[in-house]
Amino acid sequence: MNIGIIGATGLVGKEIIKLIENNHLKIKIKDIRLFSSIKSIGTTFVIKKQIYKTEELNENSFNNINVSIFCSSSEVSIKYAKIAISKGCFVIDNSSAFRMHKDIPLVIPEINGHLVNLSNGIIANPNCCTALLCLALYPLHKRYKIKKIVVSTYQSASGAGLKGLNELKNQINDYNITDNKLKTDVFGRQYLLNVFSHNSEINLINGYNDEEIKIIEETNKILDSEIKISATCIRVPVLRSHCESVNIEFTQKVDINNIFVLLNEQDGIDIVDDRENNIFPEPINTENIHNIQVGRIRYDLSDETNSTINLFLSGDQLLKGAALNAYQILNLCQNININKYNLKN
């Protein structure tokens, strides 16, 4: 399988390259081609002792590629995904461009990996918070149908890309030196030692930002359109890994011990819930870790019917929230007939 990575020099692109280098799923990869924006063309990567340089993306880039992973903007995905398919190249798209398209599967391999086989050439990778959230909700919804969730996020700088991450890093460096005159070009406000509403565009009518709408719509698409979802997205001064505080109301009484069992049995989840030592999920402990952590698992005491629980989760938004999920989809692509796209060429 020849693969292409579009946006190789970005935070997510670099994580995909690392995953391919380590290749823990032993995906059979023949050739790799890397693409970047014009200003980064020629950036060098060493993958398994072989040197790769990023190229400019154009209409002919996809000719000998079987699967391309897009880790760039929605604009790039919209412009090139269809060209890729027309050249017989399967697309895994990290942008939000196609996620809500009714004919395009939105895939978390642990939940709905089978949809890869039904794809018409594009598989969408979910929003970072959505991926972490759905993985935790999935085993619970399967056993006890979820009625409503209320989620508040604690999102890191890495979700805003390299520029956002660097701005927070620079603010730490500058904090002691420059007498608190910190550069705030990306977020327009001090990020260090602060908390603020997510920096995505806001719908002026309903007051929701794009990130919140993505969590709501994508979770409904992946899990169940009937689940009622309320989301509030907040950035916290953390470099990497997101957290989410989730109140989950089920359609029936649940057994909290069984909730632990269900989460423990779910691939991709580590339970971190040590009440005696006050050890629960923390973003600093999920950085660079494939599994998400789930803890603070307890009944909502205000619901006397025992139909509602709370939990707190943390996961690396660059891994399960982006690159790892895409890499897992790439693994599933090995089993589908890539040739059917080649035939269209």
* 294 makes contact with a copy of itself (CB under 8 A): no
Site mask for a copy of itself (CB under 8 A), range 305-334, x = bound: ---x-x-x-x--------------------
* 79 makes contact with a copy of itself (CB under 8 A): no
* 210 makes contact with a copy of itself (CB under 8 A): no
Among 290, 296, 307, 338, binds a copy of itself (CB under 8 A): 296
* 225 makes contact with a copy of itself (CB under 8 A): no
Among 48, 82, 163, 275, binds a copy of itself (CB under 8 A): 275
| Residue 134 is a catalytic residue | no
Q: Tell me, letter by letter, the H, E, C secondary structure of the chain.
A: CCEEEECCCCHHHHHHHHHHHHCCCCCCCCCEEEEECHHHCCCEEEECCEEEECEECCCCCCCCCCEEEECCCHHHHHHHHHHHHHCCCEEEECCCCCCCCCCCCECCHHHHHHHHHHCCCEEECCCHHHHHHHHHHHHHHHHCCEEEEEEEEEECHHHHHHHHHHHHHHHHHHHCCCCCCCCCCCCCCCCCCCCEECCCCECCCCCCEHHHHHHHHHHHHHCCCCCEEEEECEECCCCCCEEEEEEEEECCCCCHHHHHHHHHHCCCEEECCECCCCECCCHHHHCCCCCEEEEEEEECCCCCCCCEEEEEEEECCCHHHHHHHHHHHHHHHCCCCCHHHHHHC
Smallest separation (angstroms) from a copy of itself to the CB of 56: 34
Binding-site size, a copy of itself (CB under 8 A): 59
| Cβ-based nearer residue to a copy of itself, 14 or 240 | 240
List of residues contacting a copy of itself (CB under 8 A): 148, 150, 152, 154, 172-173, 175-176, 188-190, 192-197, 199, 202-204, 206-209, 216, 228-230, 232, 234, 236-239, 243, 245, 247, 273, 275-276, 278, 280, 282-284, 295-303, 308, 310, 312, 314
Active-site positions?
128, 242
